[in-house]
Amino acid sequence: MFQVLRDRLLRSYVLVFASILSVSAIAVRVVFTHILSQQFTEKLVALGESAAASLELEDGDLVLENDFSVQSSLDGDQALEWFDARGRSIGKQGRYVLTLPLARKKIVQTQAGTPPIRGMTLPLTSQEDHRLVGYVRASQSLEDFEETLRKLDWGLGSGAIVALLLGGMGGAILTRQAMQPVEQSFDRLKQFTADASHELRNPLMAIDANVQVALKYPEEISINGIQKFEAIANATAQMLRLTEDLLFLARTDRDLELDRTIFDLTDLLSGLLQLYQQQAQTKSIQLSLFPGKPIYLRGDVAQLKQLFANLLVNALCYTPEGGKVEMDCARVEKHILVRVKDTGIGIAPENLERVFDRFWQADSSRSYRSGGSGLGLAIARAIAQNHGGSIAVTSQLGVGSCFTVKLPAIDPSS
């Protein structure tokens, strides 16, 4: 699918490039030909004028001078022809004279053949009474002219082909580069959909199994009914949590406006401490918060509460019985740092960055099943980033982990 798209992109690119190239090549050709042909005519005029100087009037008739000196100024591919006032040829010189009849005005004539010849006719007038006394026609073979144009065509043509080849190669690289992020995000989306469906499948299967049994043995509903409904309720709750998490991530992807208020972070954290104290005690985990001093922050209370709850739930979940979970919070220069530190199972170094990926879980067999589906840290990171902050983790397998949330502090003056 992406191959097709890439090819199509490349084709259009090459097409556009080729059109630009040919338009400019044609423009260069036209302008160059025009200039060259203008120069050619100017040369013929100059030649004709110099030839006019070697004429004399004798009784009103044109005669060529005896010490005919034009010879020296004539190139090998040039020629001259003189005519009297009635248009009769009275002398010529050089190989490439025109065989076309004389045009009795100042005009350019081109004669086809091998080689083609171009000539310029100049009417001559006497200096005294401006009477027409004859004509001189200067001509030159077009061989050199055409040779120059042929060379130009070759140069333009091969230049265009080389440019097109290079452009095509560059275009292939560019389209590949341009498509890469698209392909990556498409792959991520595919993975995400697969993961989400997978996570929804388990609770749905649990519900289905329980309902099927209940339908098959309706007489036993009153006996085992409560258990089945409990299982169904659990599965439903799990799906509800998952869909809420997914919805949240989908919303933050679209950069929703935050509901920002100024509040005391220490207050929020101690509220969470109380909320999870019970759970910690049942696992005999020592849960503590340091210190008690208020630290003010501007942000979305509900979201930040979820951020720290996610970290706390993880810490409690991935810490074996008898462990310790500590939270502390401090202002360091322009930032507020909140740490959630545990003495739990830890995270392998190669997985440190992946824990924040959506649906990523170290233990897919869920021996430390949190009831979560691997979205907790992805959500935590999204919330931190929404607030212009970040989240980082350090950990050591078997020793413990420490998650640090960095949030921008409010300016004390405001």
Ligand X SMILES: Nc1ncnc2c1ncn2[C@@H]1O[C@H](COP(=O)(O)OP(=O)(O)O)[C@@H](O)[C@H]1O
The residues of the shown chain that bind Mg ion, judged by CB under 5 A, are: 314, 370, 372, 376
Determine the longest span between alpha carbons in the chain, in angstroms. 146
Task: Choose the binding region for ligand X from 137-145, 177-185, 283-291, 353-361 (rule: CB under 6 A).
Answer: 353-361
249 binds ligand X (CB under 6 A): no
Q: How far is the CB of 342 from Mg ion (least distance, A)?
A: 12
Contacting residue, 345, 383, 384, 391, with ligand X by CB under 6 A: 345
Q: How many residues does the chain have?
A: 414
Residue whose structure tokens are 């050619």: 40
Is the bond preceding 349 in cis, omega lying within 30 degrees of 0? no
318 binds ligand X (CB under 6 A): yes
Q: How far is the CB of 358 from ligand X (least distance, A)?
A: 8
Three-state secondary structure along 171-183?
A: HHHHHHHHHHHHH
Question: Which DSSP category does 102 fall into?
Answer: P
Task: Choose the binding region for ligand X from 105-113, 296-304, 329-337, 344-352 (rule: CB under 6 A).
Answer: 344-352
Task: Write out the binding residues for ligand X, residues 363-402 only, by CB under 6 A.
Answer: 363, 370, 372-378, 401
Nearest to Mg ion of 52, 315 (CB atom): 315
From residue 101 to residue 140, the character string flagging contacts with ligand X as x (rule: CB under 6 A) and all else as - is ----------------------------------------
Residue in the shown chain whose Cβ atom is closest to ligand X? 372
**Residue 67 neighbours by CB under 8 Å, 6+ apart:** none
Neighbours of 364 (CB within 10 A): 9
SS3 404: strand
Report the DSSP pairing between strands 261-264 and 78-84. unpaired
Q: What does 315 bind: Mg ion, ligand X, none (CB cut-off 5 to 8 Å by kind)?
A: ligand X
25 binds ligand X (CB under 6 A): no
293: tokens are 């001093």
Stretch (H or E) spanning 279: helix 265-282
Provide the binding-site residues for ligand X, judged by CB under 6 A. Answer: 310, 314-315, 318, 342, 344-347, 355, 360-363, 370, 372-378, 401
